Amino acid sequence: MPRRIVIIGAHAAGVDAASAARKTDRTAEITLITDEKYAGYSRCGLPFVIGGRIPSFSNLIVFSPSYFQMMKLNLKTETKVTKIDVSKKTVLVAKNGNIEEIPYDSLIIATGASAFTPPIKGREKKGILPLRTIEDGQRIDQAIREGAKTAVVMGAGLIGLETAVALQERGLKVTVVEMLPQVLPAMLDADMAKMVQEMLEQKGIRILTNKPVEEFLGVDKVTGIVAGGEQINADLFISAFGVRANTQLAVDAGVALGETKLIKTNPRMETNVKDVYAVGDCAESIHIVTQRPVVQQLGTVAVRQGKVAGINAAGGYAVFTGVVGSAVTELYDMQIGVTGLTEAAAKRAGIETITGTVSSKTKAEYYPGALPIRVKLVVEKESQRIIGAQVIGGEEVTQRINAASFAIQKQMTVRELAKADTAYAPPLNETWEPLVLAAEMVLMKLR
């Protein structure tokens, strides 16, 4: 009898799990279930459709229905899983009032996360728009087409700032409110975040930090907010407070959560329940530097975890080695990247650090079109190992972040990085690689 694999969730983690399972076991019966209308699309692309850089939301669908047919994957859309019964090894699903029981041999929970709005006075009012699904994106796009001229984005994290830029590119007057003292608080240290904020303000986006949202104003529909004691009115209100993992289904089935309140797994992505795996935004990860559980809700993490769980659920063997939190974005012409721990995160983890920051150019100084680039390295003082990097520049940020990520994962010391053999040509790089210069800055401080 063929192995039955059921996957709850059909986006990055779920689809990659299904693909890996199919490649491991050619005969398995693999079923994917999602309560959304569209499966296998890129959430990360949503702001860029709103901004007009990507023509249509349909462009974001990475895995078309033909892909699922070709891979012999049974996809159920607009279908809600109401219960997991681990003793019977079944999941109960509902669609259009019809209830069905689906048996499994291996179950992969890839339920993801949902946008949330904190318990702020007036949050039950209409018109607070998250950006998590294609439908969310379509609602925001519709509001712009219907004549919205002003917008407030609540939250200055990655999605918040990408959405703010998108709205401004569509001609709206945008205000961003953030309760913490800086933009991109999870991604950058304050000194690097300042560069991003100044650039956004120069482009005409109003940014208010240290301003928590205290109230939503309006009768039925939101017409304004109070943030840090200031009233701000607008036509459009974007909720970018963050996301919360969808764990209730797992908890009800007896699946244990970890200290981050996400589903706890071992390196094979197995939960405490036999033959039940968890991956993606609903599962916690182990940070390679601190060896502590962390919340790392990134597409790159989701697909890697999905692959591991898919192989194991289909009878193979694979392990997930952990995360360093590598992430990049582009706001206007500025690329921003991070990997490992920020100086602030290292301090919270009780790690004493030394940092080195340099400003350089992306090409030889004399070469036309050379753009500025700033690199910050975070080094553990005791071991002299590289534990973090932040890069902001006009180009070539991603590959420098990737290089720093390799260095962190291979436990490279700052002395080793300072001796690195790097490439140079006038149109492509300076003779001294900025990462190497930053390493030399740290060595100077260590002396």
Catalytic residues: 44
C-alpha 182/C-alpha 327 separation (Å) is 18
C-alpha 52/C-alpha 169 separation (Å) is 8
Expressed in angstroms, the distance from the first to the final Cα of the chain is 67
Partners of 243 in the β-ladder? 115
Beta-carbon neighbour count of residue 186 at 10 Å? 15
Pairing of the two strands 236-239 and 128-130: parallel
Question: Cα 410 from chain centroid?
Answer: 23
Beta-carbon neighbour count of residue 395 at 10 Å? 15
Pairing of the two strands 334-340 and 327-331: antiparallel
C-alpha 260/C-alpha 244 separation (Å) is 11
How many helices (H) and strands (E) the chain has is answered by: 12, 25
C-alpha 297/C-alpha 300 separation (Å) is 9
Beta strand segments in 253-395, E: 276-278, 285-286, 293-294, 327-331, 334-340, 353-361, 372-380, 386-393
C-alpha 283/C-alpha 111 separation (Å) is 9
Angle at 41 between CA 323 and CA 175, to 5 degrees: 80
Contact 281, 245 (CB under 8 A): yes
Residue 113 has φ and ψ, to the nearest 5°, of -140, 165
C-alpha 105/C-alpha 4 separation (Å) is 5
Contact 78, 37 (CB under 8 A): yes
